[in-house]
Amino acid sequence: MHDALQALLGDAAVDMVGFSFGTMVAVLMAARWPQRIRRLVLSGAPALGVKSEEKLELRAWSHLPPGPALDAVLRQNLAVLMLARPQSLDELALALHAANLPRDRMRLRRLSKTNLVRDTLPAVQCPVHGVWGREDALYLGVQDQLAPALAAAPGFQGLTLIAQAGHWVQYEDAQAYDQALAAALGG
């Protein structure tokens, strides 16, 4: 990622926004190359040391051929993990999810069960903001622990929780997410 930024922008500093597993990349980059990252916005970060007691039951899908059976499993998994409102689970959400799953190189998600983000945040020097869906399945019942975990970053600025949105907050309520992101990035 650093090489890509260098190729695209030279030495210019950037605002970085990370979602889900992308927050790990964003936090590690901000800690390793502080001169490159002006502001950091995290959404749905795993590895914060905050764990819900809720057990997520996702169904296996990789053995299924394309078609209605696969679509049904993917819809169920989207409803369990990614989206809080049934009306958010539209054909576009299904198509995006189906297109990205085969690209996933971290299927077992062991890294999400670590404290990598929480333990790296103290080394992040730039302002850090959080934007989360209030109904994020990964943090049900423990949303009150998110801001204190993010506050491990010396420059923590605050957490915005978007009502009636799940883990995929930027898809589920794009308008509210864009407003929170604009505020975090200074307008």
Cα separation, 170 vs 91, whole angstroms: 16
Q: How confident is the model at residue 181 (pLDDT cuts 50, 70, 90)?
A: very high
Tokens of 134: 């209030």
Percent of the chain with pLDDT over 90: 76
Hey, CA dihedral for 176, 184, 47, 12, is it positive or negative? Answer: positive
Query: Which pTM value belongs to this model?
Result: 0.92
Domains and their CATH numbers in the chain: 2-53+112-184 (3.40.50.1820)
DSSP at 105: S
Mind listing the pLDDT tens digit for each residue in 30-52? 999 999 999 999 999 999 999 88
pLDDT the model gives residue 108? 52
Model confidence at 74: pLDDT above 70: yes
Give the pLDDT of residue 187: 63
Q: For residue range 94-150, list pLDDT tens digits in order.
A: 999 998 887 776 655 677 788 999 999 999 999 999 999 999 999 999 999 999 999
pLDDT at residue number 52: 87
Q: Is 65 exposed, middle or buried (0-12, 13-18, 19+ CB in 10 A)?
A: exposed
Residue scoring higher pLDDT (183 or 110): 183
Edge to edge, what strands does the sheet with 156-162 contain? 14-19, 37-43, 128-133, 156-162
Q: What is the pLDDT of residues 122-137, one digit of tens each?
A: 999 999 999 999 999 9
Identify the pLDDT of residue 24: 94
| Among 127, 120, 159, 121, residue whose Cα is nearest residue 143 | 159
Average pLDDT, the chain: 93
SS3 labels along 69-103: HHHHHHHHHHHHHHCCCHHHCCHHHHHHHHHHHHH
Helix (H, G, I), strand (E, B) or coil at 44: coil
> Is pLDDT at 11 greater than 60 in this prediction?
yes
Looking at residue 100, what is its pLDDT? 86
- Mean pLDDT (whole number) for 61-67: 90
